[in-house]
Amino acid sequence: MAVDELDTRILRLLIEQPRTSVREYARILGVARGTVQARIDRLERDGVITATGPVLSPAALGHPVLAFVHVEVTQGHLDEVGDALASVPEIVEAFSITGGGDLLTRVVARDAGHLEDVIQRLIQLPGVVRTRTEIALRERVPHRLLPLVEAVGRRPGTP
């Protein structure tokens, strides 16, 4: 899907000012409200915009520990283990991966002891062979997509 300069400007506003109305976006951009709404609808339909809700902080919810847990799975059990991971509330994301392990999970916990409890729960899932855990010390680059949006929305040949 092609993202042009206007789409990029709309996406920037959606990221930076998510509570602003479409009418206000149109005023800021100097285009008709219907144009902005049509662009947003197309971006949603094309899967560029996938959600419109608040971004929550696990730390503010009492889970300041962040760990990445690699899960090695018995051959043929990837789908079952993946489904079972969804029942663990402390797993906030899980991905099938290549390399060291079969699944990579992003886990949040209240403290080190709670993290150990979550890992023990993972180890007991049928089909899990072993896990390897890495604890995040500090976030260096927060989740962001605006630089990518801007790079995609640039016209060819412009820096």
pTM of the entire predicted model? 0.83
Beta strands 128-135 and 65-73: pairing type? antiparallel
How many CB atoms neighbour CB 104 within 10 A?
A: 18
List of residues 6+ apart from 107 with CB closer than 8 A: 66, 67, 68, 69, 90, 91, 92, 115, 118, 119, 133
CA angle, corner 59, sides to 139 and 113, nearest 5?
Answer: 100
Kindly provide the b/e burial profile for residues 60-96, where b requires at least 16 CB atoms within 10 angstroms of the residue's own CB: eeebebbbebbbebeeebeeebbebbeeeebbeebee
The pair of structure tokens assigned to 40 is 């947003």
Along the 159 residues of the chain, how does pLDDT read in single tens digits? 688 999 999 999 999 999 999 999 999 999 999 999 999 999 999 999 998 888 899 999 999 999 999 999 999 999 999 999 999 999 999 999 998 889 999 999 999 999 999 999 999 999 999 999 999 999 999 999 989 988 887 766 555
Which residues on adjacent β-strands are paired with residue 91? Answer: 107
User: What pLDDT is stored for residue 43 in this prediction?
Assistant: 96
